[in-house]
């Protein structure tokens, strides 16, 4: 039987939501001396970081040749490689409702739509604040003509709270330094959803990718007062099906060069006994992921599992290989669809949070080049079937993260931002806290007058 339209409207523009708040006072972000970064064509330098901006119609924003300038033991400065290339390789949105209306939905937002092609000009809203540098992007239309997206990439600095702090209880002296980050971002509108991709570089050597999800839910009408087993009611007569947003980041790390290996690091509980008489002992457990078959891994919050990329030929001052670790910092689901389903076969990359492959120039798309035209098995499942050696080589990490979305009324009529992402943190890459040399903030800017 026909289902009547939902009785409530879904408009969300300012003229349709009722009286607006009047008690929000302005916040002004100023940098009287200008920004601390420089941009020369696609070369960006900020503090001790250097990188090149890239763009791909499929992936969107790409970071190339990310280095950090450090002080060598002899006192000279050296630009040390960290990340050769970082991007979103693929993204899939499988729906969990098997009904006729929703069951066919499983969009590959990179492989079918193109996150770069769906990017939006940041002239259309207040997406960035501060002293901003915008970058236009030129792509090609289907007819091969130049297609310019003005202000496609936004770059600016943000204060990010306390970077480090300590108060000496003997002397009462306080030392505190503010954290700051360089933000490089773009926003893609893929159908009903917006995805904001925000790369952050920090003063202490951290690199972070944060994805912000917002936009409009895909909805369906239901009789008022009823629901379905695979959806949640978000308004009277309106339901939204359960679904997932799964991103796969391709991270070609070069930690002080290309001769790297990957280690899984987690906390291991020591059994009660002579080595643990108090029952409190735990220790770090390190497992080398030596072959592709060993490097299909899932996150484990209970053991604080992370993955460390090290350079065995470059030792730090305590005799350990220099490295960076991939830290799961937000939601990290894997694909819930059955492996033999259509989307399960074509989105095989999403069955694991981590895959590791040796660098191969042709291996760029986690689900293969044409996920919408392939019956399944392409990309990471096909490549890793060779079970190649990963030790002392140029490794590529493929990290799947995202959101399992069980819609709620607060997501309607437009969804508040939901966050997901990951962190790349130095682990023995530096000899000490690399943000020790950040100067104190002027006292006048920190205290009320």
Q: Give the residue numbers annotated as catalytic, written as ranges.
A: 109, 193
* Cβ–Cβ under 8 Å, residues 68 and 78: no
Handedness of CA 57, 61, 62, 65 (dihedral sign): positive
The answer to whether the CB of 95 falls within 8 A of the CB of 242 is: yes
C-alpha 250/C-alpha 89 separation (Å) is 5
Among 120, 91, 112, residue whose Cα is nearest residue 189? 120
H runs (alpha helix) in 152-306: none
Distance CA 178, CA 438 (A): 8
d(CA 231, CA 95): 10
Cα–Cα distance measured from residue 290 to residue 34, given in angstroms and rounded to the nearest whole number = 47
- Determine the 3-state secondary structure of 200 from DSSP: strand
3-state secondary structure of 15: helix
Token duo for residue 253? 């790390």
3-state class of 302 per DSSP?
Answer: helix
Q: Measured between alpha carbons, how far is 347 from 190 in angstroms, rounded to an integer?
A: 18
Give me the numbers of helices (H) and strands (E) for the chain, helices first please: 2, 22
**Sheet (strand 238-241) strand order:** 220-221, 238-241, 231-235
78 Cβ partners below 8 Å, 6+ apart?
69, 70, 71, 72
Tokens found for residue 58: 């499929």
DSSP state of 204: T
User: Cβ–Cβ contacts within 10 Å for residue 86, how many?
Assistant: 25
Cα–Cα distance list, 317 to 73, 379, 430 (Å): 9, 40, 9
Which residues pair with residue 339 across a beta bridge? Answer: none
131, 31 Cβ separation under 8 angstroms: yes
Neighbours of 54 (CB within 10 A): 16
> How far is the first Cα of the chain from the last one, in angstroms, to the nearest whole number?
68
């Amino acid at each position: 039987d026909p289902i009547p339209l939902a009785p409530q409207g879904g408009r969300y523009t300012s003229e349709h939501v009722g009286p607006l708040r009047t008690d929000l006072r302005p916040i002004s972000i100023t940098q009287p001396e200008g920004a601390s970064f420089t941009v020369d064509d696609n070369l960006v330098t900020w503090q001790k970081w250097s990188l090149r901006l890239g763009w791909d119609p499929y992936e969107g924003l790409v970071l190339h040749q990310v280095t950090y300038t450090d002080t060598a033991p002899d006192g000279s400065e050296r630009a040390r490689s960290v990340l050769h290339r970082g991007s979103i390789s693929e993204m899939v949105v499988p729906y969990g409702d098997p009904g006729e209306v929703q069951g066919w939905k499983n969009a590959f937002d990179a492989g079918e739509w193109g996150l770069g092609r769906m990017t939006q000009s940041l002239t259309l809203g207040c997406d960035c604040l501060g002293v901003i540098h915008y970058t236009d992007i030129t792509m090609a239309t289907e007819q091969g003509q130049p297609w310019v997206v003005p202000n496609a990439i936004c770059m600016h600095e943000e204060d990010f709270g306390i970077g480090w702090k300590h108060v000496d209880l003997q002397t009462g002296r306080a030392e505190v330094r503010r954290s700051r980050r360089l933000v490089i971002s773009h926003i893609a509108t893929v159908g009903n959803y917006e995805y904001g991709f925000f790369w952050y570089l920090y003063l202490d050597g951290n690199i972070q990718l944060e994805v912000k999800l917002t936009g409009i839910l895909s909805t369906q009408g239901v009789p008022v007062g009823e629901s379905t087993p695979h959806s949640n009611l978000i308004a009277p007569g309106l339901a939204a099906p359960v679904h997932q947003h799964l991103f796969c980041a391709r991270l070609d790390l070069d930690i002080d060069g290309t001769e790297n290996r990957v280690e899984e690091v987690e906390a291991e509980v020591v059994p009660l006994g002579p080595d643990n008489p108090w029952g409190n002992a735990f220790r770090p457990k390190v497992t080398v992921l030596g072959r592709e078959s060993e490097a299909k891994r899932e996150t484990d919050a209970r053991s604080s599992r992370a993955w460390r990329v090290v350079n065995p030929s470059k030792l730090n001052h305590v005799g350990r290989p220099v490295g960076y670790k991939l830290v799961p910092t937000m939601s990290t689901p894997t694909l819930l669809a059955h492996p033999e389903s259509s989307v399960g076969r074509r989105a095989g990359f999403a069955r694991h949070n981590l895959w590791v492959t040796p660098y191969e120039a042709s291996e760029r798309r986690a689900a293969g080049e044409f996920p919408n035209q392939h019956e399944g098995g392409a990309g990471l499942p096909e490549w890793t079937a060779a079970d190649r050696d990963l030790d002392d080589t140029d490794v590529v990490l493929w990290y799947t993260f995202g959101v399992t979305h069980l819609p709620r009324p607060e997501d309607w009529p437009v969804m508040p931002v939901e966050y997901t992402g990951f962190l790349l943190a130095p682990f023995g890459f530096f000899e000490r806290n690399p943000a020790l040399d950040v100067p104190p903030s002027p006292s006048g800017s920190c205290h009320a007058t």
